[in-house]
Amino acid sequence: MVVIKVPIIKVMDEILANKIAAGEVVERCASVVKELVENSIDAESTEIKIELLESGTKEIKVTDNGKGMEKEDAVLAFSRHATSKIRDEDDLYHIDTLGFRGEALASIASVSDVTLRTSIGDVGTFVHMKGGKIIEVTPSEARKGTIMCVKDLFYNTPARLKHMKSLYTELASITEYINKLALSHPDIKFILTNNGTNLLNTDGSGMLLKTIKSIYGITVARKMIEIKGESDDYMVEGFISLPEVHRANRNHMVTLVNGRVVRNTELNRVINDSYHSFKPDNRYPITVLNITVDPSLIDVNIHPTKMDIKFSKMEELIELIETLIKNVLHKKSLIPEVTIEEKKKEAKPNLFVESIRKPIYQEQKLEFDVVKEPEEELITNTDFIEEKEELAPTEEIILEHIEEIEEKKERLPDLYPVGLVHGTYIICQNDLGMYLIDQHAAKERINYEMYKKKLGNPKEGSISLLFPFTMELANNEYIILKENFEVMKNMGFEIEEFGINSIIIKAHPTWLPKGYEEQASRKIIDVLIEKEKDFTIEKFNEKVATMLSCKMAIKANMNISNEEMEALIKDLRLCDNPFNCPHGRPTIIFYSNYDLEKLFKRSGFEQKQ
């Protein structure tokens, strides 16, 4: 009797394989939007319209005016690993398109109902796919470009459908990514709507600052700083926010590589660290940085989403970005200006919320002739300029205002103290207006830079103690400290073992705060033990300087004389960064003469209008 063995391992059919692939490529509605819009960008489109119904859970439609496809290509595009972006293995090392894996359309079509209308300018093609199967292929209109419509996403994968987030979360994810794509391609007109409500409408003028204005508003746009520089292998250009503009998370730190939106934790860390002591450590700047590099020096083929990236010569890129940001921040006047805005009669509705509350189910128009907002409505901040003449185009106003700031403001202008409020805030004045200085924050900054300098040049002698003090530690802490005795000695401490798990300090550096010698020494040892896992001299010095600067700063509710105010301002002027305390809080804020007159509705203000 012959026993026929049935093989256990079998090749999956294409539809099942596509469903599995969809688990990586198509995670949520935003994944579909990402893949479709990136295809439109690769097709050299200059206008891309994204229309959503119920945050994309019911329908996602992407319309572009790109190159379009012939009938054969339109059908073949839904096959797995079918792409026009790469031909052979060598192309993997010179990728200059957003898509190249050939998985997206096949994956999307396997878990949804998809229709495609496309044309290169003559007879078009209509393709209908559902659950990965071709339902219909017929001729269509000859409008050049492509229209992709995805309905009922995950209808045949209920487990994935069950774990979809709320409409708000899905819409927020889509909006965030389209914002980043608009920033990466300011030369493309992007229109995003949800249930008929317009959420984003850029003009495709190619001006990055104007795109920033469309997304973040004119108030943020006028507080962005342009940076640009290059090394042997990298060129970096874009905009970073003034330290006074920051957000609660890293989502607004946009990094682009050759026009591709990417994620890289190391780059985000470098950008954020470059703002150290200019802003609170738990807040993050708004940045849009485009890195231009030879494609052979990067690898984007790490994950199907193509957002993770690896760099060759990473140290060179880190040094370039860090240098550019630090240089521009150290050259700017960073005094926050308090501006007075007119009260608006009616608050504008929140379009993001309204787009979800008021669903519209009628068929959406395909044309790009969206009604533009009136030009005057683009100016939302009434104190942005004095409206003596007819308003210029928005982007010109922004650029002119930024140039005006750079011309008129010194790094720290002459300040003349005239009083003290609550023993905390020094009132100063000059020809430009009124300034408020937080005396505690200002003294913290002065002390911080002094101690950083002392720690960087420790060989300045020590003072022997008439009564040495001892410290008993836990056994694990004692081991860490004993291994770092040399660090303490280099700082000017004379430190020795003193019994089991104890040390004795017989001398300390001359620059320790007078009256706080023992307390400061204990704090320094605590910092050394705390930083043991990621210890570096730079981090240690930074922590010690910050700790000591706070201990020796003038406290709030402490009245000081006019002479002491002048001395404080003089010392603050000598600081590398006189605008923030070591924790990132502002040391000084500014009220212009214009805003003071505006507050009090003086006749001079009326005449200016």
pLDDT in tens, 220-237: 999 999 999 999 999 999
pLDDT at 128 over 60: yes
Local confidence band at 160 (pLDDT 50, 70, 90 cut-offs): low
Spatial distance between the Cα atoms of 468 and 463, rounded to a whole number of angstroms: 11
| Range in 65-74, 425-434, 448-457, 580-589 with the lowest mean pLDDT | 448-457
Share of the chain above pLDDT 70, in %: 72
What gap in Å lies between CA 194 and CA 356, rounded to an integer? 7
- Asked which of 365-369, 455-459, 462-466, 543-547 is least confident by mean pLDDT, the reply is 365-369
The structural domains of the chain, ordered by start, are 14-201 (3.30.565.10), 223-331 (3.30.230.10), 410-443+556-600 (3.30.1540.20), 461-510+514-551 (3.30.1370.100)
More confident residue, 254 or 488: 254
pLDDT at 254: 92
Least Cα distance to 49 among 191, 205, 193 occurs for: 191
> Which residue type occupies 280?
P
pLDDT for 402: 47
Q: What is the pLDDT of residue 456?
A: 64
The pLDDT value given to residue 105: 84
Q: Is the pLDDT of residue 97 over 80?
A: no
Q: What is the DSSP letter of 263?
A: B
Least confident of 43-57, 80-94, 110-124, 576-590: 80-94
| Res 562 pLDDT > 80 | yes
- Is residue 310 over pLDDT 90? no
Q: What number is the average pLDDT over the span 410-415?
A: 80
Q: Are 190 and 182 in contact (CB under 8 A)?
A: yes
Average pLDDT (528-537) is 64
Residue 254 region by backbone torsions, left for phi larger than 0, else alpha for psi between -120 and 50, else beta: beta
Report how far residue 386's alpha carbon sits from residue 609's, in angstroms, rounded to the nearest whole number. Answer: 7
Strands 425-430 and 287-293, bridge-based pairing: unpaired
pLDDT at 15: 56
From first CA to last CA, the distance across the chain in angstroms is: 105
Q: What is the Cα–Cα distance from 116 to 322, expressed in whole angstroms?
A: 46
> CA-CA distance, 332 to 406, in Å (whole number)?
8
Radius of gyration of the chain (CA): 31
Which residue in the block uniquely carries the two structure tokens 């007078």?
Answer: 514
Neighbours of 74 (CB within 10 A): 21
Span 541-564, average pLDDT: 76
Element spanning 225, H or E: strand 224-230
Q: Tell me the average pLDDT of the chain.
A: 78
Looking at 492-558, list the stretches that DSSP marks H as alpha helix, in order from N- to C-terminal side.
Answer: 517-530, 537-551
Q: What is the pLDDT of residue 184?
A: 92
Distance CA 138, CA 498 (A): 90
